[in-house]
Structure 1
Amino acid sequence: MANIIVVFPKLEDAKSIRNILTRNGFNVTAVCTTGAQALNYTEELGDGIVVCGYKFADMHYSVLHDYLPEGFQMLLVASRQYWGECTADDLVCVSMPLKLHDLIDTLTMMEEALARRRRKRKAQPKQRSEEDKEIIVRAKETLMERNNMTEQEAHRYIQKCSMDSGTNMVETAYMILEIMKQ
């Protein structure tokens, strides 16, 4: 479930949008009246959707959009006359007057896209630094030298120890190097 931040200049408008969204099963994390408040919440959250109006007391929606962290999307609720200014590719717009099913369908679509990106990000293997690779190579070489293992056997041994102890391979390789020093 995505974190949703609702930002409108009038608190009553923001609360009514929040109520609509929560009644329809969305997780509204915060209700704000300024862009600065919304940015504070985005720093605490990893990703999510910002549902906002066109202009706030402290900034324009485009400024807020530019400052949003990478994992956030924006849903602009504004009249069609402002849509011509919406040049960002990742900005989604819903027209005023607001139709409930348009808002719900659009947010559902955005939430699904966010979930797909999360899954894709988790599926990618984490890249190791050169230092981390060097530690693993040294641990394998040590195991190969002292225990007469092949490179593949040493790698599997480090993997198994890593899985058994619940640590990553770099930490396990470092522990092996420390133990073998003695």
Structure 2
Amino acid sequence: MKKILKAITAGAVALVLLTGCTGATEDQKQKRENFEAAQAAVPFPEDVVAKNPTERINVREKLIRDSDPKRLSYIYLLSMDGKVVAHFVAKGKVSSADSQLLPDYEYRDLCGSSACWQLVNAAGDDATYGNREPGIFFFTPEGMLVTWSGDYLQFDRPMKINTPISLVANVA
């Protein structure tokens, strides 16, 4: 009896797998052919990447630096025409103001009967819904929070500025 049950189960699985693959449309076949042609046209230089994976080395180094909470960096906030508006020393990582600790979406049972689960927007870290503020934020060594929604430059060392800075704050 167990052998018959196993044979029926295996046959059903094989039937589902075989019939599921036969429904490919001409469009899907064409996309697959285009993908394969593109892969063949641009050979992947495995030997070069294996010997010198510079992109991986760069990403690793950036992650190491970004993970150092004592790291100092120099942030230059830019106006829309590229002039330096202000500059700060940042302690730790410059973060996206859109970052949050909780997930953006969650599954909820909208019917109350466990029958219609749907993916919906989740509340943010501040327990509100909607878009968060754009831009970046960081903390100075003195603990001041700076939030900015424009372009900026970040360096590991201070840079010489040849134009006057338009925003100067008196910090006591």
Q: TM-score range by the shorter chain?
A: under 0.3
Higher-helix-fraction structure: 1
Larger Rg, first or second structure (1 or 2): 2
